[in-house]
Structure 1
Amino acid sequence: MSPSSTAIRRTVEAYLGEHPGERDALAGLLAALDRPVDATARTPLGPGRLA
């Protein structure tokens, strides 16, 4: 089972709380998590898919 987009976002935000200078490096991931499609869904490859 893949982690949910919400769980990934919580983890990234917690990381950024400790390492705020990394926000630019993680901007693409955060943008993917903001899209209306589930970035972790096990569907055919498409825009924004992470897993």
Structure 2
Amino acid sequence: MLGWAVTFLIIALIAAVLGFGGIAGASAGIAQILFVIFVILFLVAMVARAVRGRPPV
């Protein structure tokens, strides 16, 4: 998930440099959404591990 977010961020940066504002904005928005989903899933996984008694890595 994080890899996809980075991919869309790179696409957004390249599109912005080339002057494609619409594509850059859309790609940046997708990257932000994917990053937020990644962070939420990561936190849920850490809480689940803590509840089950395994120490975080």
Q: Give the TM-score normalised by structure 2.
A: 0.39
Larger Rg: 2
Greater share of helix:
2
